Structure 1
C-alpha cells in the first residue's frame, strides 16, 4: 500500500508494521523495492509494458519520497539481508536498495519514452553508485562493508566492485570459511545464484546448493521439511515453516542448470545456456513462455554432449552448446555454424523449431 507521502508499506494489507522504515509508516527499503521489482519481473517475463505505464505515477511519487528523504543522497538503515547467518551489511544493503529503485526509475522512464525522467534518474543513479563505492569499498582489497557473503554478493550483483576479480576472491574465501555452505539471507541468496550464473561459476552454486547439513536446503529435507522454512535453522514455533523467501533455488534449476533466460521482454529473444555442474549427467527443463514452451534438455555422454531444445514460434534464441573452441556442433548429422566460441561454449543464433545438437 502507498502512504500519503509516497512510501510503500512493509506488508499489504497494512497493519502498522514499519520495522526500520523511512517515516510516514512506510516500510524498509528492501521491502519497498518489491513494488517496482515486481513490475520489472512481469515486464521481463510477459513483455507487456501496461503495468509499468499504469503504475508509473505512483512509482514516481515513491521515488520522490525516497529522494527527498535520503540523507546526503544515501541511506544506511534497513532490515537488510533478513535471516543471514553472519552480521548483516545493513548500511551497504540500504544504499544498494535505494540505488536499485533509481535504476528502475531510469529504465521504466525509458520504456515509456520519457527521456527527461530517464536521464534525470540515470544521472542520480550514477551519483549514488559513486557514493556507495566511496563509503563501503575498502580500496585495493575487493572488500565491501563487512565482507561477508552477503556484502560481497550485494557488491557484485549491483556491479559496484571496481575490481571484480578481487571481490570474487573475497567471496570465494567466505564460501571456503563456511565450508561451502550458505550464510546469506532473503536477498543475497537469490543474488548468489544470479552472480554465479552470469560469471560461469555454476560449479560453486551446485556445491553450495547440494550440501546436506546445516545450513542449506538439503538440511531442511533431511529434517523432514516438505515446504521451505523462513530460517536456515528449524523454526520450532516462529517464524514460518512455509515461506518462499529461499525459493530462488527453484529458479536456479531453470536459469542455470537448464539455462533458460530472456534476452528480450516476454522471451521474444531467448538465451539457452545450460551450465553443467558437479556430478550431474543430465537435466530436463521446460518453461511455458507467452510465446510457447521453451525446452532445454541435455545429457553428458562418454564421447560428447547432447542437447534437445525447442524454440517457440516467432522467437529466436542464442544457444550455447558446451564445446571446445573450433569444434563443430552437429544437428541431426549436419554441422551448424557457430557465430563465436566463448568460455567453453559454441554459440549459435537459431530460429523457431526443435533441434537435437551434439558436440564432441
Structure 2
C-alpha cells in the first residue's frame, strides 16, 4: 500500500551492504490527536512504569478508532471499549473521539443481530457484551462530560436497540456470546452478558428520566428489577458453583450492585478470600472482571489488598509484564509468542484505578460532568506520595498527597463552579487542619479512627492529618 503503519519493538533490516547506524532510521509515533495533559505519578517506580505502559498502549490504539491491537486486526471491538473506555477518559479528553465512536456503532449495527466491531468488519459472535458499547459509551460521555445533547439525539435509536436486545434474549438471561475473554479461570456468559444487559437497563432508566419519558422510566426500572432478580437467583441465592471463577463472580455481583446491601459485607469477604487464593494472591480475571475487581474490591475496603497486587512483579499481573520487559500491555496475563497481541489495551483498567482510588478523583454519579465530584484519595501502606491532575469540563482537578513521619498532607484544587466531597479513611486518632490558599487555616478538628469527610467549594486547599499523641 501507499501508506500503512505497524507497532513494533524490534526491527530487522536485510539486504544492505553496510552496517547501518541507528541514526539512519526515523520512527514516527502516530495517534489521533486527543488532548492528554492529565497526569498521574506516585512514589512507586513500578506503578509509574505500569501507568506509562498503559498510556503508551492507549495511544498506540488510537487511529481514528479505539482498536484492540495496532499490529494486526486494528478493529474497534466493543468489548475492549467497555473494558477500558473509562481509563482512556481519565488520561485524555475523549469527548469528541467517543462521540465519533458512538456514531460508528450507529452505522455498524444491524436490526436483528449483534455485531462485534464498529466499523463493521463481518464479525458477529461476541454478543451483547460487545455491542452494548453503543449504549455504555453514551452513558460515559454523560457522566464525565454532561453530554445530554447526545442522549437527546440518539434516544429513539436507544429505545429501538433495547427492543432488539429483548427479542434476542427474551428470557432475560443471556445464553450466547463471548464471556470474560482471557480470564485465567472461566466465567459463564450467563453472568457477564446478563450483567451487561442489566447495566443497559439501568442506563436506559437514567436516559428516560432525562427525556421526561415516564412510561419508559417505569419500563426499564421493571426490566432492571427482573434482570437483577434473575442474576440473584442464578448466581447468589443457590450454593456457589465452585467451577465459576470466584473472583469474577463476587467482583461482578458487587460491581453491578446485585447483592442486597445486608449481604454485601459477606460478598466482599468472599472476594477477599478468592483474591488470596489466586496464584501468588493475584487476580484471575479477564477483559471485564479485571475492571470490576479493581473497583469492587476498593469500594469495599480492600484498597491495600489491590495495591499489593498491582505493586507486585509476580505472575499474573501488570508488574510481571514490566518485569518481563514489556513496554505495552499484553492481551493475556502470560506473554504470548506470536499468537496474542502484546500491545492491547484490554487490561488497562489499572490506569483508571490509580486515578479513582490512589488520587481519589471520581465523578458524582448524581451530578454529571463533575459539577459535583468526589475526592477520596487512599494512602496504602508502602506508598509514600501521589501527584495527580485531571482536566474536567470545569477545569483542572488536582489531587496530591504525601506521608510525613506523623501523618499525611493532602493538597488539592477544586475548579470554579464546582463542589468536591472530600473523604479519606483515617486509621488513627488525629488532628485535622484545613487551610485554604489566600485565607490560611479555615477549620480544624479532632477525630477518632474512621472516615473524615468535608465538602469544599472552589479553591486550593491543604489538609494536614496529624496522629494525635495519647
Task: Compute the displacement of 1:138 (Å).
Answer: 4.2
Please show how residues 94-243 of structure 1 align to structure 2 within 5 Å: 94-139=193-238, 146-162=244-260, 163-178=263-278, 179-243=280-344
Taking the TM superposition and a 5 Å limit, the aligned residue runs for 1:37-48 are 37-48=136-147
- Structure scoring higher RCO (CA < 8 A, sep ≥ 6) equals 2
Q: CA deviation at 1:150?
A: 1.1
- The alignment partner of 2:416 has SS state of strand
In 1, the alpha carbon distance for the partners of 2:246 and 2:160 equals 34
**TM-score where L is the length of structure 2:** 0.70
Greater shift after overlay, 248-257 or 127-136?
Answer: 127-136
Distance of aligned partners of 1:96 and 1:322 in 2 relative to their CA distance in 1, 3 Å threshold: closer
TM-score normalised to the size of structure 1? 0.91
SS of match in other structure, 1:67: helix
Q: How many Å apart are 1:111 and its aligned residue?
A: 1.9
The equivalent of 1:273 in structure 2 is 376
Match of 1:25 in 2: none
Deviation at 1:94, TM superposition (A): 1.8
1:8/1:62 contact within 8 Å kept: no
Structure 1: any 5+ residue segments left out of the alignment? 21-27
Task: Sort the Cα spacing of 1:142 and 1:284 in 2 relative to 1 into closer, same or farther, 3 A.
Answer: farther
Aligned with residue 347 of structure 1, among 453, 456, 459 = 453
Cα offset for 1:112?
A: 2.0
Q: Take 2:447 and 2:398, find their aligned partners in 1: how far apart are those partners?
A: 22
Aligned equivalents of 1:303, 1:255: Cα separation in 2:
25
Contact residue 423 and residue 454 of structure 2 kept, 8 A = yes
CA distance in 2 between partners of 1:57 and 1:322 (Å): 44
- The 8 Å contact of residues 115 and 125 in structure 2, kept in 1 or not, is answered as no
Instruction: Classify the secondary structure of the residue corresponding to 1:285.
Output: strand
For the Cα contact (< 8 Å) 1:269–1:316, is it kept in 2?
Answer: yes
Question: Are the counterparts in 2 of residues 142 and 167 from structure 1 also a CA contact under 8 Å?
Answer: no
Q: Give distance in 1, aligned partners of 2:325 and 2:465.
A: 41
8 Å CA contact 1:80, 1:88 repeated in 2: yes
In the alignment, is the contact (CA less than 8 A) between 2:268 and 2:297 conserved in 1? no
Alpha-carbon displacement from aligned partner over 1:293-333 (angstroms, at most 9, x marks no partner): 10110011111210100000010111124446884421246
- Partner deviation per Cα, 1:103-130 (whole Å, 9 max, x = no partner): 1111111122212111111111101111
Tell me how far 1:75 sits from its aligned partner. Answer: 1.4
Q: Is the 8 A contact 1:182 1:216 kept in 2?
A: yes
What pairs up with 1:326-337 in 2 under 5 angstroms?
327-332=430-435, 334=441, 336=443
Q: Which residue of 1 aligns with 2:387?
A: 284
CA change 1:3–1:288 in 2 (3 A) is closer
Per-residue deviation, residues 10-38 of structure 1 (Å, max 9, x unmatched)? 01221211124xxxxxxx11101211111
Rg larger in structure: 2
The 1:154/1:314 distance shift into structure 2, 3 A limit, reads: same
